[in-house]
Amino acid sequence: MKYYILFGPPGAGKGTQAGAISEKYNLKHISTGEMLRNEIAAGTELGKQAKELIDAGNLVPDSVVEGMIESTFNNNKNVAGFLLDGFPRTLGQAVDLDEMLARRGEKVNAVISIMIKDETIKQRIQHRAEIEGRADDANEETIKNRIATYHKQTEPLITYYKNAGKYQEVDGECGGIEDVRKAMFRVFKGIDRKFMERQVVLDDSLLDKVQMLAQESPRLRMNYDLRNSEDDQSQRMLNVMLPGTHTTIHKHNLSSETVMLMRGKMDTVFYNNKGVEMQRIHMGGDTGVFGVNIPKGQWHTFEVYDLSIIFMAQDGPWSPLSKENML
């Protein structure tokens, strides 16, 4: 398992970037705030402890938060690793995390920090407060305190992880969201060498392996990258999809997409710009159809009837779908 920590001050865009990173590298994103809400909603023992403390107006202690994190590690076996967001926040938590991972025979692989100036933090917090109607966050003194707290808590952690040789920085003001995302991917490219010098034979053994991983995944799907290197700026992968998989209607504006069905039975469905179904292509079974080329800019989705494994190929590097490319 890989264990990455995402650092950054309020307004740096951690939440914005975490989703794309998690999707690309098959990581489980762990946001401590979201994790607390989920544990409480699920009614777990840890969730009950947290709820009692919060209802009494008390802070949730490190031991409870760390228990939830370890529970998340234990219950997510079929991911490549974890992306921690909002933890650790203090030196004590960093030491506890190292000890927790050491018990598992694991370690923190890297810490990636999105850095922005204090003035930018202030502007972004104020802007977010206006959008979300949070008057308390728009208060000048509140913002100053949040920035001061961040520096007080985080700077010792930066030194801690620098000394361990695990600290990486990304300029959070190098451009727009996509520019920062590309910078993040470049950092991960330098950290993770899993693709290097790998030769892959597409046989039943490989298909069985990725099929098993998909069946155990809560997402009901699994991507398997077929490139030999991150420097390969194309997209070639196996995609395993179980019945019940939901694929958003989407399009690719920069390249056509070739899809070959290697196992299973599914439909490729084309839509017009209003989301009206225009064509349905039955694939697999006794149809005699095992592949389709999807034109550039064509709205489409996949409907899976039996567990299906497809080979997908596209020009250009992978990037998450933008809102304008989803119906």
Q: What is the pLDDT along the chain (327 residues), one digit of tens a residue?
A: 889 999 888 888 888 888 888 888 888 999 887 888 887 888 888 788 878 877 776 667 888 889 889 988 998 887 888 999 989 988 899 999 999 999 988 899 899 999 999 888 888 888 777 776 665 566 778 788 878 888 887 778 988 998 888 898 999 998 888 899 988 888 887 676 554 445 678 888 888 878 887 776 656 677 788 876 666 788 898 999 888 776 889 999 989 999 999 999 999 999 999 999 999 999 999 999 999 999 999 999 999 999 999 999 999 877 777 788 888
List domains and CATH numbers for the chain: 2-191 (3.40.50.300), 204-325 (2.60.120.10)
Spatial separation of the C-alpha atoms in residues 45 and 145, rounded to whole Å? 34
Tokens of 272: 């017009």
**Sign of CA pseudo-dihedral 190, 193, 195, 196:** positive
CB 236 within 8 A of CB 227: yes
Which region holds residue 165: left if phi is over 0, alpha if psi is between -120 and 50, else beta?
left
Q: Is 236 a catalytic residue?
A: no
State the catalytic residue, choosing from 77, 134, 162, 189: 134
**Residue of 85, 109, 116, 124 lying closest to 187 (CA atoms):** 109
Tokens of 312: 């997908």
Spatial separation of the C-alpha atoms in residues 58 and 18, rounded to whole Å? 29
Q: Where are the alpha helices (DSSP H) in the chain?
A: 14-25, 32-42, 45-55, 62-74, 91-103, 118-132, 135-138, 140-163, 177-191, 204-215
Tokens of 269: 């469905």
Spatial separation of the C-alpha atoms in residues 18 and 14, rounded to whole Å? 6
State the pTM of this model: 0.59
**Residue of 234, 240, 232 lying closest to 261 (CA atoms):** 240
Spatial separation of the C-alpha atoms in residues 223 and 238, rounded to whole Å? 6
Q: Is 219 a catalytic residue?
A: no
Q: Collapsing DSSP states into helix, strand and coil, what is residue 319?
A: coil
Furthest-apart CA atoms within the chain: distance in Å? 69
Q: Is 128 a catalytic residue?
A: yes
Which amino acid appears at position 22 of this protein? S
CA angle centred on 79, ends 220 and 19, rounded to 5°: 85
State the catalytic residue, choosing from 24, 89, 122, 236: 89
State the catalytic residue, choosing from 128, 209, 219, 263: 128
State the catalytic residue, choosing from 14, 28, 181, 251: 14
State the catalytic residue, choosing from 51, 107, 122, 146: 146
Q: Collapsing DSSP states into helix, strand and coil, what is residue 11?
A: coil
